[in-house]
Amino acid sequence: MNILVINCGSSSLKFSVIDTQTGADLARGLFQELGSDSPNYKMESALLGAPNTGKLSPKAEHEEALDALAAFLASDALNISIQAVGHRVVHGGERFTSASLIDDATIEAIKACSPLAPLHNPANLLGIDSSCHHFPDLPQVAVFDTAFHQSLQAEAYLYPIPIELYKEHGIRRYGFHGSSHKYVTAEAARILGKPLDETNLITAHLGNGCSAAAVENGSCVDTTMGLTPLEGLVMGTRGGDVDPGILLHLHRALGMSIEEIDTMLNKKSGLLGLSQFSNDMRSLRQASAEGNSAATLAVSIFTRRLAKSISSLRATVKSLDALVFTGGIGENDWRTRSETLQRLEHLGIVIDPEANQNAGKDQNGIISQANSPVKAIVIQTNEELMIARETEQLVEKQ
Ligand code: ADP
């Protein structure tokens, strides 16, 4: 089945077309600056030579992006037909424990979760709305970033704050990056040769956003992100765990407004805030090698906190088969893996430095030594393929 996977931001639309039988990516692209004076796009396919780039008319929105996307897929050179559309939706609250066919009730429920993800869910709904309008005859499916973590028990998802905040306002830990954690969990079980429901892992998704999850018998039992994607690990521009008292202090003592604190936490912290010049691990590694001490410190804080979180997640699973690294940093930065694993020998992971430097390419991604009691594995994530597969499964059930 060919599935169009859509990931919408408020001014962007990212897509790929996945052939679920082969897992191949038939086409992909990105529309940016929608609603502005110069919306632009880049669409590409291995079936074509050069990428197709251009501008949409000023103020063009998601609807016009879908027109251009549909024309691209239907062009003589491509002629790709699609059988269903899978939408990435950031927050599914407690309502969605798995993907859901989109109908009026699903749309209402996604709207109801919007207060928990005010930047993301309304943008995701824009994409759903345009796509339902544009492809009225195709099944449309919502796949939630939070769904994989809905297996958390109350002891993992409740914050130790007054319980009525959960009961009346849904304030609890939800977790994110679910499609990525779920995808690499299935891949790790395959690599380890174990049934999924007997596989115990810690998965570390390290991209611009970073989160780790603890997986017991194939189900998620804990994760580092919480009510919002601000909690947990150090990220590109988000700091992860900080003393909540800092926020009160910034407001009371420094007079910072809620909006300023929001911007500081989401856009000015993490690797960027510490280094004061980049949120990008590659640039920081380079600067660090050239002697930039702020870059060195930022990276050290990143890996130290990562190891600390992984170590604490270990306490939430009864046993551990492997630690999985994924995401742009997890897949590509051997130094981050090495510096993190040096701190995790007590978990029974013995790194193979050579395999780590080539990301375990010769051994199915495994970067620990053959006799290491717990394995470390590098797995390339594929959130789009996960969304496409979940969409297909649901469509086939209908
Ligand atoms: P997103 O969360 O936006 O999908 P990615 O998963 O692409 O982001 O991860 C982006 C991060 O991966 C950046 O910090 C980038 O520097 C880092 N990264 C990508 N390639 C490398 C590399 N070869 N070495 C070190 N870091 C890398």
- Domain co-membership, 56 together with 203: no
Ligand 1 pocket check: which of 332, 358, 386 to mutate, most ligand atoms within 8 Å of Cβ? 332
Nearest of 381, 23, 384 to residue 180 by alpha carbon = 381
Does the C-beta of 270 come closer than 6 Å to ligand 1?
Answer: no
- Domain co-membership, 335 together with 231: yes
- Pull the structure tokens for residue 279: 């949120």
284 CA: nearest ligand 1 atom: 16
Q: In the prediction, which pLDDT does 332 show?
A: 97
283 CA: nearest ligand 1 atom: 16
**Residue 98 domain flag:** yes
Does the C-beta of 236 come closer than 6 Å to ligand 1?
Answer: yes
**Residue 188 domain flag:** no
Does the C-beta of 190 come closer than 6 Å to ligand 1?
Answer: no
**Residue 184 domain flag:** no
- Domain co-membership, 240 together with 332: yes
- Domain co-membership, 67 together with 200: no
Q: In the prediction, which pLDDT does 190 show?
A: 98
- Domain co-membership, 217 together with 140: no
Question: In percent, how much of the chain has pLDDT > 70?
Answer: 100
**Residue 180 domain flag:** no
Q: In the prediction, which pLDDT does 398 show?
A: 85
Q: Which domain holds residue 33?
A: 2-144
| Distance of CA 195 from the midpoint of ligand 1 (Å) | 31
Q: Which of 107, 127, 144 is the last residue of a domain?
A: 144
Give me the CATH number covering residue 379.
3.30.420.40
For residue 145, indicate whether it is catalytic. Answer: yes
> What type of residue sits at position 45?
S
- Domain co-membership, 130 together with 234: no
- Catalytic residue from among 67, 76, 145, 321: 145
Does the C-beta of 207 come closer than 6 Å to ligand 1?
Answer: yes
- Beta strands at 40-44 and 322-326: parallel, antiparallel or unpaired: unpaired
| Distance of CA 338 from the midpoint of ligand 1 (Å) | 16
306 in Cβ contact with 330 (< 8 Å): no
- Domain co-membership, 91 together with 206: no
- Domain co-membership, 111 together with 206: no
- Domain co-membership, 27 together with 140: yes
Q: In the prediction, which pLDDT does 10 show?
A: 86
**Residue 162 domain flag:** no
- Domain co-membership, 238 together with 132: no
Q: In the prediction, which pLDDT does 49 show?
A: 87
Does the C-beta of 330 come closer than 6 Å to ligand 1?
Answer: no
Does the C-beta of 289 come closer than 6 Å to ligand 1?
Answer: no
**Residue 388 domain flag:** no
Q: Is the pTM of this model over 0.85?
A: yes
- Rounded Cα–Cα distance for residues 290 and 47 (Å): 41
**Residue 341 domain flag:** yes
List of the chain residues with pLDDT < 50: none
Q: In the prediction, which pLDDT does 260 show?
A: 98
188 in Cβ contact with 379 (< 8 Å): yes
- Domain co-membership, 318 together with 253: yes
Sign of CA dihedral 104, 106, 112, 118: negative
- Rounded Cα–Cα distance for residues 212 and 111 (Å): 27
**Residue 336 domain flag:** yes
- Domain co-membership, 133 together with 233: no
Q: In the prediction, which pLDDT does 319 show?
A: 98
- Rounded Cα–Cα distance for residues 269 and 254 (Å): 17
End-to-end CA distance of the chain: 15
Three-state DSSP at 148 gives: helix
Count of the separate structural domains present in the chain = 2
Q: Which of 120, 144, 168 is the last residue of a domain?
A: 144
| Distance of CA 13 from the midpoint of ligand 1 (Å) | 20
CA 128 to chain centre: 19
If one counts every other C-beta atom within 10 angstroms of the C-beta of residue 327, the result is: 24
Which residues 6+ apart lie within 8 Å of 71 measured at CB?
none
